[in-house]
Amino acid sequence: MVKVKDIVSRFEEFAPKWMAEDGDPVGLQLGDLNQEVHKMMVTLDVRPETVQEAIDQHVDFIFAHHPAMFRPVQPFDLSIPQNQMYAELIKHNITVYGAHTNLDNANGGMNDWLAGLFDLQDTIPMMPTREEKMYKLAVFTQSNTADSMRHALNAAGAGNLANYRDCSYSLTGTSRFIPRDDEHSYSGDDKDEMVEVVQEKIEVFFPARIKAQVLKAMKDNHPQEDFMYDLNEVNGLGQEYGMGRVGNLPEPMTVKEFALKCEEVFDIPGVRVISKDIDQKVQRIALLGGSGARFYPQALSKNADLYLTGDVSYHVGHDILASGMSAVDAGHYIESECKPHLTKLFQKWSQENDWQIDIYQSKLNTNPYQFM
């Protein structure tokens, strides 16, 4: 039977927690990673109504985009509906996991899904890109144990580069040393005599997040207690990632036409438009799901004609208007686009890994706003 940690582990290969913005409470929200999963639910929000939906559907694992807890609960007053919701989760043995800005930043994740709704071409991250920290390990070992060392390092996760796995480089050479005493002599050689040994240097690259397990694999599989290795940080090999997307529409359209397109693709009755001229043609679009209003300068820096996001405040709206760029505030709930995409991903992984679980997509609309 599959456990929560198995599902989470596969997801975090796609959108690792280290991609999340500083202070974002991604990961396990409540429950037990070792809990067995029979039915999981994918949702945007974890609210009392979605928890009741999970209970009614006999769900034991909720996977949400928005964390259930952005800050610690204190005091745990059960007269507060959100706190009562946590109690219901515990009572019904439901584990909750949240993937927030790591999913936003992931390549092929939230903001790429939004960009796909408009067929944006040649997309790039809107925010400055960052690169995953990578290391190069070079370890010296006996030639007759080199293969086992390579296999151990690869099994620990080292050597995965781009579309290749189990990558390594070897160089054979001669090591020379003089033992100081019989106790530390090599293969029975006398102390104070030069010893020459054919050794192989094995080099592998790996991300910083698995440093501990790679070094443990190296030490556990080396035939000597004392041995040499080099470990250096390297640039240019890590996965690049960044928040938001900027790309070009297949054909120009007016601000008004784009706003109407937003209403259509997001199935919402209206949007807020910030523009000096709604009949102006736009083609280069910047977008950031969620509350992205304060990042409009980054959209400007990428020469965007229009910025699509949510939760634009009054004064920021004035600043955007003064900048000459147009903007569409389609609301925070446009991120509900994650539900069908996450469902497809988990169905794919379930089939590949023979998880044999039911995957349910929440049917509730958790948008708190109504248009009258």
What does the pLDDT read at residue 176?
85
User: Which two three-digit tokens encode residue 243?
Assistant: 């928040």
pLDDT digits (tens, 9 = 90+) for 188-215: 556 678 888 889 999 999 998 899 999 9
Cα end-to-end span (Å), the chain: 48
Q: For 25-47, write each residue's pLDDT tens digit.
A: 999 999 999 999 999 999 999 99
Supply the DSSP symbol for 164: B
**What is the structure's pLDDT at 225?**
82
Across the chain, what does the average pLDDT equal?
93
Please indicate whether the domains covering 4-105+336-361 and 122-129+242-330 agree at the CATH topology level. Answer: yes
Please state, in angstroms and as integers, the Cα–Cα distance from residue 242 to each residue in 82, 110, 117, 123, 183, following that order: 32, 12, 19, 12, 55
Are the C-beta atoms of residues 89 and 31 closer than 8 Å to each other?
Answer: yes
| H/E run at residue 240 | strand 240-241
Ranges of H-type helices in 156-254 = 211-220
CATH number belonging to domain 122-129+242-330: 3.40.1390.30
Q: What is the pLDDT of residue 187?
A: 54
State pLDDT tens for residues 42-74.
999 999 999 999 999 999 999 999 999 887 777
Has this prediction a pTM greater than 0.85?
A: no
If one counts every other C-beta atom within 10 angstroms of the C-beta of residue 228, the result is: 12
Which CATH fold topology does 4-105+336-361 show? 3.40.1390
What are the binding residues?
65-66, 104, 332, 335
> By the 8 A CB rule, do 311 and 332 touch?
yes
Contacting residues for 33 by C-beta, under 8 A, at least 6 apart = 3, 4, 5, 8, 95
Contact 97, 61 (CB under 8 A): yes
In the chain, where the domains are located: 4-105+336-361, 122-129+242-330, 133-238
pLDDT of residue 189: 55
Q: How confident is the model at residue 182 (pLDDT cuts 50, 70, 90)?
A: low
Q: What is the pLDDT of residues 255-300, one digit of tens each?
A: 999 999 999 999 999 999 999 999 999 999 999 999 999 999 999 9
In percent, the amount of the chain with pLDDT more than 90 equals 80
pLDDT greater than 70 at residue 186: no
User: Check: CATH 3.30.2010.10 for 133-238?
Assistant: no
Query: pLDDT higher for 163 or 364?
Result: 364
Categorise residue 360: left if φ over 0, alpha if ψ from -120 to 50, beta otherwise. Answer: beta
pLDDT (average), residues 216-245: 91
Annotated binding site for a divalent metal cation: 65-66, 104, 332, 335
